[in-house]
Amino acid sequence: MNVIEISVRGLVEFLLRCGDLDNRTGGGSEDAMLAGSRMHRKLQDAAKGDYHPEIPLEGVWEYPGEDLSVHVQGRADGIYRGTNPGEDESLWTIDEIKTTYRQLRSISSPDPVHLAQAKCYAYFYASQNQLEKICVRMTYCNLETEGIRRFYETNTQEELASWYRELMEQYHPWASFEAQWRQKRDESVRILEFPFPYRVGQRELAANVYRTIVHGRKLFLEAPTGTGKTVTTLFPAIKAIGEKKADRIFYLTAKTVTGAAAETAISQMRDKGLHLKSVLLTAKEKVCVLEKPDCNPESCLRAKGHFDRINAAIYALLTKEESFSREKIAKYAEEYQVCPFEMALDMSLFADAVIGDYNYLFDPHAYLRRFFADGSGRREQYLFLIDEAHNLVDRGREMYSADLFRDEVVTMRRAVRKLWPKLYTKLGRISRQMLEIGRETEGCTVLENVDRLAGLVLDADSELSSILGEERIADQSGKAGSDPDRKQKRELRTGLLEFYFKIDHFASIYASMDERYISYAETPERGRNAGSGGIRSSKKPARSQTDVRVRLFCVDPGKHLAECMEKGRASILFSATMLPITYYKNLLGGTGEDYEIYARSVFNPEKRGLYLVRDLTSRYQYRTAEMFDRLADCIAEVTSQRNGNYMIFFPSYSFLNEVADRFALRYGQTCTVLRQRSGMQEEEREKFLGRFDEIYDDQTLLGFCVMGGIFSEGIDLKNDSLIGVMIVGTGIPQVCAERELLKQYFDEKGQNGYDYAYRFPGMNKVQQAAGRVIRTSEDVGIVVLIDDRFLTPACRRLFPAEWSNAQVTDSREVGRLAEKFWNEWL
Look at residue 377 in the predicted model and tell me its pLDDT: 56
pLDDT interval class at 374 (50, 70, 90): low
- The letter for the amino acid at 128 is Q
Reply yes or no on whether the pLDDT at 257 is more than 50: yes
- Lowest mean pLDDT segment, chosen from 82-96, 271-285, 621-635, 798-812: 82-96
Least confidently predicted of 266-280, 308-322, 431-445: 431-445
In a domain, 507, yes or no: yes
| Residue 272 in this model has a pLDDT that exceeds 50 | yes
- The verdict on residue 190 lying in a domain is no
Distance CA 590, CA 581 (A): 10
Angle (nearest 5°) at CA 104 between 103 and 107: 110
Percent of the chain with pLDDT over 90: 75
Residue 101 inside a domain? The answer is: yes
SS3 breakdown of the chain: % helix, strand, coil, rounded to 5? 50, 20, 35
Q: Report the alpha-carbon angle 687-692-697, nearest 5.
A: 140
Same domain assignment for residues 411 and 552:
yes
The pLDDT of residue 478 is 59
What's the whole-number mean pLDDT along residues 462-466?
87
Cα–Cα distance measured from residue 609 to residue 805, given in angstroms and rounded to the nearest whole number: 8
For residue 2, CA distances in Å to 66, 180, 350, 649, 807 come to 9, 9, 16, 57, 63
Interatomic CA distance for residues 47 and 45, integer angstroms: 6
Candidates 826, 805, 372, 409; CA nearest to 610 is 805
- Name the burial class of residue 125, with classes exposed (0-12), middle (13-18) and buried (19+) by CB atoms within 10 angstroms of its CB: buried
Q: Do residues 724 and 672 both lie within one domain?
A: yes
Query: Within a domain: residue 146?
Result: yes
* pLDDT grade for 539, boundaries at 50, 70 and 90: very low
pLDDT tens per residue across span 745-776? 999 999 999 999 999 999 999 999 999 999 88
| Residue 662 pLDDT grade (very low, low, confident, very high; cuts 50, 70, 90) | very high
Distances, alpha carbon 456 to alpha carbons 142, 300, 409, in Å: 19, 35, 12
- The residue range of the domain holding 80 is 2-173
> Residue 373 — pLDDT band, cuts 50, 70, 90?
confident
pTM above 0.85, yes or no: yes
Mean pLDDT value across residues 339-366? 96
| 60: amino acid identity, one letter | V
Residues 524 and 562 in one domain: no
Are 387 and 418 in the same domain? no
Contact between 126 and 30 under an 8 Å Cβ cutoff? The reply is no
What are the strands, taking DSSP E only, across 544-623?
Answer: 549-554, 570-575, 595-598, 608-613
800-810: string of b/e by CB count within 10 Å (b at 16+)? bebbeebeebe
Which residues are 385's β-sheet partners? 251, 572
Q: How far apart, in whole angstroms, are the C-alpha atoms of residue 70 and residue 63?
A: 8
| Residues 6+ away with beta carbon under 8 Å from 464 | 26, 423, 496, 499, 500, 503, 504
* Beta-carbon-side half-sphere exposure of residue 319 (alpha carbons within 13 Å): 11
Closest CA to 102 of 143, 137, 151: 143
Least confident segment among 163-177, 365-379, 404-418, 702-716: 365-379
Residues 344, 358 share a domain: no
Q: What is the pLDDT of residues 551-598, one digit of tens each?
A: 999 999 999 999 999 999 999 999 999 999 999 999 999 999 999 999
Q: Quote the pLDDT of residue 531.
A: 37
Task: Say how far apart CA 52 and CA 34 lie, in whole Å.
Answer: 22
The H helix count followed by the E strand count for the chain is 29, 25
- Closest to 732 measured CA to CA, from 759, 709, 702, 706: 759
Percent of the chain predicted with pLDDT > 70: 94
30-39, 87-96, 159-168, 774-783: least confidently modelled range: 30-39
Same domain, 647 and 576: no
Considering the domain architecture, whether residues 450 and 390 belong to the same structural domain is answered as no
Cis peptide before 580 (omega within 30 of 0): yes
Is residue 535 predicted with pLDDT exceeding 60? no
Q: Is the pLDDT of residue 529 over 80?
A: no
Note the pLDDT tens digit of each residue in 592-647: 999 999 998 888 999 999 999 999 999 988 899 999 999 999 999 999 999 999 99
Pair type for strands 781-786 and 608-613: parallel
Residue 26 clears pLDDT 70, i.e. is over it: no
364 pLDDT above the threshold of 80? yes
The H or E element spanning position 726 is strand 724-728
Across 157-161, 291-295, 442-446, the highest mean pLDDT is recorded for: 157-161
Asked if 723 and 640 touch (Cβ cutoff 8 Å), the reply is: no
Q: What is the pLDDT of residue 288?
A: 93
Write the CATH number for 94: 3.90.320
- CA pseudo-torsion sign 17, 21, 22, 27: positive
For residues 704 and 744, membership in a common domain is answered with yes
**Whether the Cβ atoms of residue 355 and residue 259 lie closer than 8 Å to each other:** yes
Res. 526: pLDDT tops 50: no
Domain of 213: which CATH number? Answer: 3.40.50.300
Burial (Cβ within 10 Å: 0-12, 13-18, ≥19) of residue 47: middle
Separation between Cα atoms, residue 55 and residue 57, nearest integer Å:
6
Same structural domain for residues 646 and 592? no
Mean pLDDT of 107-116: 93
Does the residue 193 lie in any domain?
A: no
Whole-number Å distance between alpha carbons of 711 and 649: 9
CB 614 within 8 A of CB 786: no
Q: Taking every pair of C-alpha atoms in the chain, what is the biggest distance, in angstroms?
A: 100
Residue 506 has pLDDT above 90, yes or no: yes
In a domain, 188, yes or no: no
Domain count, the chain: 5
Residues 61 and 160 in one domain: yes
pLDDT at 380: 74
CB–CB of 716/663 below 8 Å? no
What mean pLDDT do residues 397-426 have? 95
Q: What phi, psi does 193 have (nearest 5°)? A: -110, 160
- pLDDT at residue 344 greater than cutoff 80: yes
Listed in sequence order, the DSSP H helices in 290-325 are: 306-320
Q: What residues contact residue 823 under an 8 Å CB cut-off, 6+ apart?
A: none
Task: Using alpha carbons, list the distances in angstroms from residue 98 to 117, 139, 373, 797.
Answer: 11, 6, 16, 57
Please compute the mean of the pLDDT values over residues 138-151 and round it to a whole number.
89
Q: Any alpha helices (H) in 679-736, and if so which ranges?
A: 682-690
Identify the pLDDT of residue 610.
97
Which residue blocks in 55-201 are alpha helix, DSSP H? 112-128, 157-191
Positions of E strands within 300-437: 323-324, 353-357, 382-386, 402-405
Specify the pLDDT at position 611: 98
Q: What is the pLDDT of residue 534?
A: 41
Q: Which residue has the higher pLDDT, 663 or 369?
A: 663
The amino acid at 669: Q
What confidence score (pLDDT) does residue 785 get? 98
The strand ranges marked E within 187-277 are 218-222, 248-253
Tell me, yes or no, whether 356 lies in a domain.
yes
Radius of gyration of the chain (CA): 30
Q: For residues 309 and 247, what is the distance between their CA atoms, to the nearest angstrom?
A: 28
Rounded CA gap, 100 and 51, in Å?
23
Strands (E), 402-490: 402-405, 444-447
DSSP string, 501-555: HHHHHHHHHHHT--TTEEEEEE-HHHHT-GGGT----SS----STT--EEEEEES
Exposure string (b/e) for 134-163, b if CB count within 10 Å is 16 or more? bbbbbbbbbbeeeeebebebbbebeebeee
Q: Considering the chain, what is the average pLDDT of its residues?
A: 91
Residue 641, in any domain of the structure: yes
443: CB partners within 8 A, 6+ apart? 522, 523, 525, 526, 527, 532, 533, 534, 737
Whether residues 688 and 780 share a domain: the answer is: yes
Are 392 and 539 within one domain?
no
Instruction: Label residue 715 by pLDDT band (50, 70, 90).
Output: confident
**Amino acid occupying residue 205:** L
Asked if residue 427 lies in contact with residue 461, where contact means CB atoms within 8 angstroms, the answer is: no
